[in-house]
Structures are given as C-alpha cells and as structure tokens.
C-alpha cells in the first residue's frame, strides 16, 4: 500500500518559517505529481502548491513568493518550504500524490501561525 506521512508542522510566529516534509512509500515517487493542500476550520480544502512529475510547479496566489515546493526523488520525499508566514496560513496541511489513475493523501500536519 501507498503511504504518505507529513511532518514538520507546529507553532510559529508571524513572519517565521517552517519546512514541511512528505515521505512517500509504495510508489516510485518521481513518476508522480505531488501537491500540498491546506484546510482551515470551516473552510474548503484548497491547493497551495503543486509540482508535477514533469517538474513544472504552480502556486496559489496567496502563497506565491513565500512558499517553495520541492522534492528529493532519491529519498521519496517532498517538501514545502514556507516563509514569511501569516496568521491566515494557519491550517492542516496535507500532502497528495497522484499518477494517471490513483491519488493518495497523507494524514495532515497542523501549522499554526500565532504570536
């Protein structure tokens, strides 16, 4: 079975930084696209950043120039580097990976931005 495990969340002050990790097993990670999503209380889950298997990336307007998505295919791990964090970035962050047929989700990691 495919498993995605997020880590790196926590409490950070506004303006601070965090790096989230998504460790994948059960797939050849480099063959899959990978995205980070987030869901705040009472809100819809939204796409934050995506890196397609081709290497192309895209970001939500709300995070562009602050977040960077990347991956280390040798480690089967994806990352989301978050900088200049704002209180509105507070959410549970989820890793998703997908190929042409199947999609898989991690369990989520909480990011709280608060002073």
pLDDT digits (tens, 9 = 90+) for 4-40: 999 999 999 999 999 999 999 999 899 999 999 999 9
* Confidence band, pLDDT 50/70/90 cuts, at residue 42: very high
Q: What is the pLDDT of residue 10?
A: 98
- The tokens for 39 are 């869901």
Distance CA 109, CA 22 (A): 10
Nearest to 92 by CA among 4, 3, 20: 20
Listed in sequence order, the residues at least 6 apart from 7 whose beta carbon sits closer than 8 Å to its beta carbon are 20, 21, 23, 109
Q: What is the pLDDT of residue 44?
A: 97
């Amino acid at each position: 079975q495919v498993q995605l495990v997020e880590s790196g969340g926590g409490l950070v002050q506004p303006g601070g930084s965090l790096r989230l990790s998504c460790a994948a097993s059960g797939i050849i990670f480099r063959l899959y696209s990978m995205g980070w999503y987030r869901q705040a209380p009472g809100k819809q889950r939204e796409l934050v950043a995506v890196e397609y298997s081709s290497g192309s990336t895209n970001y939500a307007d709300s995070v562009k120039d602050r977040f960077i998505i990347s991956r280390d295919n040798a480690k089967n791990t994806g990352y989301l580097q978050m900088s200049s964090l704002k209180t509105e970035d507070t959410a549970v962050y989820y890793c998703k990976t997908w190929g042409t047929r199947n999609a898989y989700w991690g369990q989520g990691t909480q990011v709280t931005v608060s002073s």
